[in-house]
Amino acid sequence: MDGRPDVGTYGRYEFQALPPVPFAMSGDLAWLAAQPAHDEWSIGTEPVAELPALLSACERLGLSLPPAFLAFMREPALQRRIRSCTACFVDVGAEPVRSPVGDGYLVRFLADQQGCLFWYLYLAADGSDHAVVCSADFYGSADTSEWDDDDDGGPDEIAFCGESFETFLCRYWLENEIWFADNDDAPMPDVGAEYLRRYRDFSAGGETVSG
């Protein structure tokens, strides 16, 4: 993205340098429903088969999944509105896994096509809040979560990605659409140019944006 340092496909950037998303985050994903669906590069096209098992496991643990997460995973039509330029796909874990850092649980929901990176809901154990994190390590279930200490992985590599599932999804959608507009001659979303302007100004310290 123009204005952002090039640190590789899945490089890390300062979260504080990101401008706010351009839509109100109300939990109903109305902003996403208004976007066009895609037959190619979409991250999902079918109902999530693991969702009933995940809901049951969360109930046993006293955990609640965010409404936006449930709405998205229950509706393939919404998933088809999110494209990934790296061919990521919806990949939902069937149960929460105790997080190796913090007092909470991880629920996998998105995977890179080649397993380079996985994205997770982080659910606070007391049900008070959630966020989105990512890791190159796979956290699937109590007996399949793994990392490779020889490859600099492990709990210290879990990185914060978004203050909520809906906000993460919005940025993921928008930044991928900007990539497709720049590299594949696809139409730029109406909010794309303004987001880019805010990104440049915000990251340069020239503008304070609230919302």
Q: pLDDT per residue over 187-196, tens digit each?
A: 999 999 888 8
Q: What is the pLDDT of residues 131-180, one digit of tens each?
A: 999 999 999 765 555 544 444 446 778 999 999 999 999 999 999 999 99
* Domain spans, the chain: 27-202
The three state secondary structure string of the chain is CCCCCCCCCCCCCCHHHCCCCCCCCCCCCHHHHCCCCCCCCECCCCCCCCHHHHHHHHHHHCCCCCHHHHHHHHCHHHHCCCECCCCCEECCCCCCEECCCCCEEEEEEEECCCCCCEEEEEEECCCCCEEEEEECCECCCCCCCECCHHHCCCHHHCEEEECCHHHHHHHHHHHHHHHHHHHCCCCCCCCHHHHHHHHHHHHCCCCCCCC
Is the pTM higher than 0.85?
A: yes
Mean pLDDT of 66-84: 97
Are 53 and 46 contacting, i.e. CB atoms less than 8 angstroms apart? Answer: no
Cβ pair 115, 138 in contact under 8 A: yes
